[in-house]
């Protein structure tokens, strides 16, 4: 829900997550959050420190261990905004009234759901279930990055050698069925998520976690294979569930986790699953006895008694339902809808308000993804030529109403973004790999081609033709052909026929240089299957950004993931230089080393041209019912759109009794 690099919840794979600031605009982008940069909510993830005292655990050997970090939260580079005695996050209303209902539209591309388990691979879980039903050990703030505070855990200790992190669970923490949250539940959650019945994204992200030790009933230690500043935050973002989930109460038999489908999850979060109308909506009901309601990290949050998520078959149905008053809030990713269709009687009366909220979230890297496993996309010159034919400036003016900014790399709007020439620290990391990286990587950061005028586009297309000739493609017999006489034909795969509008200008420009780009729309289930098996040439994906990239980038760009079906490496990139830079980024012990590595990685991926950058929005565009909903005056800078509303808004008095 809240993509906050301050700490990350591991996202269940296969479910779209509003990561970063995706701007689909009809291109059918599947929103893909880097597995560790996943979603959380405002107030929900990454940031630690441990309470300053010594714990009387009865585990004397453990008490004797030296501690490098011990506090009420954890910060990547040692700086926490909120002290141990803070009362609440600055951006919430601690006196917000409880009650009423928030009616949302599903943020999932799936038209329905067929399971309640968000962690298994097959099927579709309902929107927001992971965020609302499951608590985590740590939770981040929406006005801070690189840190998280204790939720289920009251303290965190990180060993001096960086090879373990120990969490002390709160005595008051309770699951929905009344049992306490214990260390054995944490271990069970970890072992289940890295087991055989969940998405491989968990195995990749948690590969450096050697195991989990139960030190006593409420103390659990994660052991790491090697020091990694991210791992305490990564394991702190695990959604914890009860060992009883999936156990038959009559026989005590535990189902294999992939068979735990329709059993209601046993979590410890602020909401439980309530009334469900399959194919239409799901309602989450606030737990009136929620154990954490008075904790500083939860005060003033989750104020609605009910959160109903409605499901509609397409964007047109959603928009018309909003205008008809069927739900209260909708976030918009289409500039065309926002500029021309968000209007009507309820907007005229002031019942519905159209608002843009500027954020400081990472831009993410929504892109055309080129599958380099396939010829001719395995040739960097072909990939560069395709990029030269995309005229973003024309599209932004004519199609997007000037509302977008061009994506320029993996880490836009963060300190990790590479700019200009590499400094010596970056160059030192890149030079040894000039055999596997283009020499240009030591020059200025690769920028997407600019056009916007007929003259500029013509020059770009001439440059593209030269690259294609160099790659062995010449125009003859009415088509651009290789030495074997095969025409250059590529397929753009989409799950939304409306996306053709956005792809058409690119198709037209490519046709001018002899490249045929065929548009193919398929149903969403087939689209997902083809993504999982890498059965595509080109797709659009919206990758969420993060201020603190880590091990999840091995899933997105690592060589091992390129060979693993259903991984996040859709480009098929398998480059030892990229592997090395990801490793250095993850292992960095000093902030300056981390920044050098992530900036070098940004350069390496950009100069390999496996992605054609698209666009991002600098604001959250939301329409909401001002007669039913109230909100804090200011949005925190790192909040997601719907996540901010779900977590910190509240129902107006006159709406609290209405259903």
Q: Point out the least confidently predicted range of 30-44, 78-92, 200-214, 309-323.
A: 30-44
Unique residue bearing structure tokens 């500039």: 335
Residue that has been written with the tokens 């893909």 in this structure: 32
Q: How confident is the model at residue 37 (pLDDT cuts 50, 70, 90)?
A: very low
Kindly indicate the confidence band of residue 3, based on its pLDDT and cuts at 50, 70 and 90: very low
Q: At residue 263, does pLDDT exceed 80? A: yes
Determine the average pLDDT of the residues in 450-458. 95
C-alpha–C-alpha distance, residues 546 and 567, integer Å: 19
Provide CB contacts within 8 A for 307, sequence distance 6+: 101, 102, 104, 128, 132, 271, 283, 284, 286, 646
More confident residue, 54 or 137: 137
Spell out the alpha helix ranges (H) of 399-521: 424-430, 454-470, 500-512
Edge-to-edge strand list for the sheet holding 306-310: 271-277, 281-286, 306-310, 101-105, 329-331, 619-625, 352-358
CA distance 507 to 516: 7
Helix (H, G, I), strand (E, B) or coil at 104: strand
* Percent with pLDDT over 90 in the chain: 74
pLDDT band at 76 (very low <50, low <70, confident <90, very high): confident
Rg of the chain over all Cα atoms, to the nearest angstrom: 25
pLDDT of the residue at 31? 46
Cα 209 from Cα 189, distance rounded (Å): 13
Residues 6+ apart with CB under 8 A from 470: 381
CA neighbor of 263 nearest in space, from 279, 241, 238:
241
Cβ-Cβ contacts under 8 Å for 265 (sequence gap 6 or more) = 116, 117, 118, 129, 133, 134, 241, 245, 273
d(CA 17, CA 557): 19
Task: Give me the pLDDT at residue 539, please.
Answer: 97
Residue 214 neighbours by CB under 8 Å, 6+ apart? 183, 184, 187, 220
Over residues 166-179, the pLDDT tens digits come to 999 999 999 999 99
Can you say whether the dihedral through the CA atoms of 628, 273, 295, 71 is positive or negative?
negative
Distances (CA, A) of 238 to 128, 182, 479, 610: 15, 14, 53, 31
> Rounded to an integer, what distance in angstroms lies between the CA atom of residue 271 and that of residue 646?
11
pLDDT computed for residue 278 by the predictor: 84
Q: What pLDDT sits at residue 204? A: 79
C-alpha to C-alpha distance for 400 and 362, rounded to whole angstroms: 21
What's the pLDDT at 35? 34
Burial class (CB in 10 A: 0-12, 13-18, 19+), 291: buried
Peptide bond into 104 cis (omega under 30): no
The predicted model gives 158-173 an average pLDDT of: 96
Read off the pLDDT of each residue in 459-487 and give the average, rounded to a whole number.
Answer: 95
Q: Can you give the pLDDT at residue 109?
A: 65
pLDDT tens-place string over residues 497-515: 778 999 999 999 999 999 9
**Quick one: pLDDT at residue 437?**
98
Number of H helices, E strands in the chain: 19, 27
Token pair, residue 529, equals: 């299957």
Residue with tokens 């980024």: 585
Distance (Å, whole) CA 109 – CA 98:
31
Task: Return the pLDDT at 13.
Answer: 30
321 pLDDT band, cuts 50/70/90, is very high
Instruction: Work out the mean pLDDT of the chain and round it to a whole number.
Output: 88
Grade residue 44 by pLDDT with cuts at 50, 70 and 90: very low
- Asked if residue 18 has pLDDT above 70, the reply is no
Cα 481 from Cα 484, distance rounded (Å) = 8
Whether residue 383 is predicted with pLDDT greater than 50 in this model: the reply is yes
Check residue 60 and give its pLDDT: 28
> Distance between CA 520 and CA 497 in Å, rounded?
8
Contact between 19 and 652 (Cβ < 8 Å): no
pTM: 0.76
Q: What's the pLDDT at 550?
A: 85
Predicted pLDDT of residue 403:
87
Question: What percentage of the chain carries pLDDT values higher than 70?
Answer: 88
pLDDT at 17: 31
Q: Map tokens 């193919």 to a residue.
A: 520
């Amino acid at each position: 829900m809240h993509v906050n690099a301050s700490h990350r919840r591991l996202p269940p794979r296969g479910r779209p997550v509003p990561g970063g600031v995706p701007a689909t605009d009809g291109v059918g982008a599947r929103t893909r959050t880097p597995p560790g940069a996943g979603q959380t909510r405002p107030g929900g993830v990454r940031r630690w420190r441990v309470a300053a005292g010594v714990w009387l655990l009865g585990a004397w050997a453990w008490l004797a261990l030296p501690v490098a970090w011990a506090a009420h939260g954890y910060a990547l580079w040692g700086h926490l905004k909120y002290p141990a005695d803070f009362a609440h996050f600055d951006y919430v209303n601690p006196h917000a009234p409880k009650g009423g209902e928030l009616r949302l539209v599903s943020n999932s591309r799936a038209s329905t759901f067929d399971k309640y388990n968000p962690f298994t691979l097959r099927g579709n879980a309902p929107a927001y279930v992971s965020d609302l039903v499951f608590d985590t050990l740590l939770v981040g703030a929406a006005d801070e990055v690189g840190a998280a505070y204790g939720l289920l855990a009251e303290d965190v200790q990180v060993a001096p050698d960086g090879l373990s992190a120990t969490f002390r669970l709160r005595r008051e923490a309770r699951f929905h069925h009344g049992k306490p949250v214990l260390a054995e539940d944490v271990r069970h959650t970890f072992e289940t998520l890295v087991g055989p019945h969940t998405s491989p994204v968990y195995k990749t992200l948690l590969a450096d976690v050697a195991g989990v030790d139960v030190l006593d009933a409420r103390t659990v230690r994660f052991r790491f294979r090697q020091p990694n500043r991210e791992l305490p935050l990564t394991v702190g973002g695990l959604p914890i569930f009860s060992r009883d989930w999936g156990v038959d109460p009559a026989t005590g038999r535990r189902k294999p986790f992939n068979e735990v489908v329709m059993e209601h999850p046993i979590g410890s979060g602020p909401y439980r699953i309530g009334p469900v109308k399959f194919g239409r909506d799901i309602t989450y009901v606030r737990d009136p006895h929620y154990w954490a309601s008075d904790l500083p990290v939860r005060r003033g949050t989750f104020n609605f008694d009910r959160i109903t998520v409605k499901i509609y078959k397409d964007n047109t149905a959603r928009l018309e339902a909003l205008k008809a008053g069927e739900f209260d809030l909708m976030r918009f990713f289409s500039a065309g809808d926002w500029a021309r269709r968000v209007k009507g009687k309820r907007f005229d009366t002031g019942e519905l308000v159209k608002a843009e909220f500027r954020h400081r979230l990472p831009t993410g890297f929504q892109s055309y993804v080129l599958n380099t496993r396939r010829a001719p996309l395995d040739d960097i010159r072909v990939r560069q030529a395709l990029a030269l034919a995309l005229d973003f400036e024309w599209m932004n003016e004519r199609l997007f109403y000037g509302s977008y900014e061009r994506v320029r790399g993996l880490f836009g709007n963060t300190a990790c973004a590479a700019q200009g020439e590499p400094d010596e620290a970056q160059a030192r990391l890149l030079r040894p790999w000039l055999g596997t990286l283009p020499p240009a990587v030591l020059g200025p950061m690769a920028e997407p081609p600019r056009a916007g005028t007929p003259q500029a586009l013509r020059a770009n297309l001439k440059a593209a033709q030269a690259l294609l000739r160099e790659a062995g493609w010449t125009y003859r017999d009415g088509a651009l052909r290789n030495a074997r006489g095969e025409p250059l034909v590529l397929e753009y795969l989409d799950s939304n026929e409306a996306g053709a509008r956005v792809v058409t200008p690119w198709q037209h420009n490519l046709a001018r240089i002899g490249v045929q780009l065929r548009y193919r729309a398929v149903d969403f289930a087939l689209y997902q299957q083809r993504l999982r098996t890498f059965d595509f040439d080109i797709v659009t994906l919206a990758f969420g950004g993060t201020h603190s990239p880590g091990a999840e980038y091995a899933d997105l760009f690592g060589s091992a993931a390129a060979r693993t079906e259903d991984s996040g490496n859709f480009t098929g990139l398998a480059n030892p230089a990229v592997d090395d830079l990801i490793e250095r980024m993850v292992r960095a012990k000093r902030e300056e080393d981390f920044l050098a590595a992530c900036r070098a990685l940004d350069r390496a991926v950009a100069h390999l041209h496996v992605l054609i950058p698209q666009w991002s929005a600098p604001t959250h565009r939301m329409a909401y019912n001002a007669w039913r909903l109230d909100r804090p005056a200011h949005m925190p800078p790192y909040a997601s759109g719907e996540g901010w509303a779900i977590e910190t808004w509240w129902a107006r008095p006159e709406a609290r009794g209405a259903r």
